[in-house]
């Protein structure tokens, strides 16, 4: 019998947590289980950074290096409103500067950025559903099922609201592959 070799996780880094966990339930060894659990704790942020580095467009849409045109992303959830952020309250996440209207909102985001960050990196949700990468307006937004979706324009927002559930499925299937699209619709 051959001695067990240490597991190399470089091939696992693009698997989702769900895929790894479901693999664990198929009876992988307990030593592999512990190794996967440790590796999983740091892999998701590393994957996000690698995607950003390996694609034509950045993982988070910005204008002048600032996410959401400087709007406070937490306010979409806590105030159901568009609220301008301040240079006084900033946080860097995924290589992007995020502005907030208060220290409390900045701290909420810092504790759980995935909870507040817009879907599809802040690119247009309707366009993502069609396999297109497009910029967004912070005024064309919707929080649905605890997630923030931005769109290219008011007209795109209206189209997004028609059969949104199927558009989310389509956009999820296209993301993050569309970051390699040759063009960014502006």
Tell me how far apart the alpha carbons of residues 16 and 51 are, in angstroms, rounded to a whole number: 14
* Cβ atoms 116, 73 nearer than 8 A: yes
Tokens of 154: 């008011």
* pLDDT at residue 84, rounded to an integer: 97
Question: What three-state secondary structure class fits 88?
Answer: strand
Residue 33: name the closest of 3, 10, 9 by CA.
9
* Residue 68 token pair: 């959401």
CA 131/CA 129 separation, integer angstroms: 6
pLDDT at 183: 87
Q: What does the block give as tokens for 97? A: 């500067």
pLDDT value at position 53?
A: 57
Query: Phi/psi of residue 124, each to 5°?
Result: -60, 125
Please identify which residue in the block is written with the tokens 């619709």.
185
Nearest to 105 by CA among 84, 133, 125: 84
Predicted confidence (pLDDT) per residue in 36-50, tens digit: 333 433 334 444 445
What are the residue ranges in the chain where pLDDT is below 70? 1-53
Q: What does the pLDDT read at residue 31?
A: 40
User: What is residue 72's three-state secondary structure?
Assistant: coil
For residue 35, the model assigns a pLDDT of 41
What's the DSSP call for residue 120? G
Q: Determine the pLDDT at residue 43.
A: 39
Query: What pLDDT shows up at residue 37?
Result: 33
């Amino acid at each position: 019998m051959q001695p067990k070799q240490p597991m190399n996780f470089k091939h696992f880094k693009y698997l989702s947590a769900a895929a790894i966990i479901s693999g664990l339930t198929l009876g992988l060894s307990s030593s592999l289980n512990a190794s996967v659990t440790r590796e999983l704790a740091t892999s998701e942020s590393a994957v996000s950074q690698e995607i950003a580095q390996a694609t034509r467009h950045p993982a988070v849409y910005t204008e002048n290096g600032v996410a959401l045109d400087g709007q406070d992303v937490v306010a979409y959830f806590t105030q159901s409103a568009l609220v301008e952020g301040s240079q006084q309250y900033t946080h860097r996440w995924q290589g992007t500067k995020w502005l907030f209207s208060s220290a409390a909102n900045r701290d909420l985001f810092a504790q759980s950025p995935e909870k507040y960050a817009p879907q599809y990196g802040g690119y247009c949700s309707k366009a993502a559903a069609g396999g297109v990468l497009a910029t967004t307006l912070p005024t064309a937004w919707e929080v649905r099922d605890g997630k923030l979706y931005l769109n290219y324009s008011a007209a795109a927002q209206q189209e997004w609201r028609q059969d949104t559930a199927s558009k989310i499925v389509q956009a999820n299937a296209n993301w993050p592959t569309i970051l390699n699209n040759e063009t960014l619709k502006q």
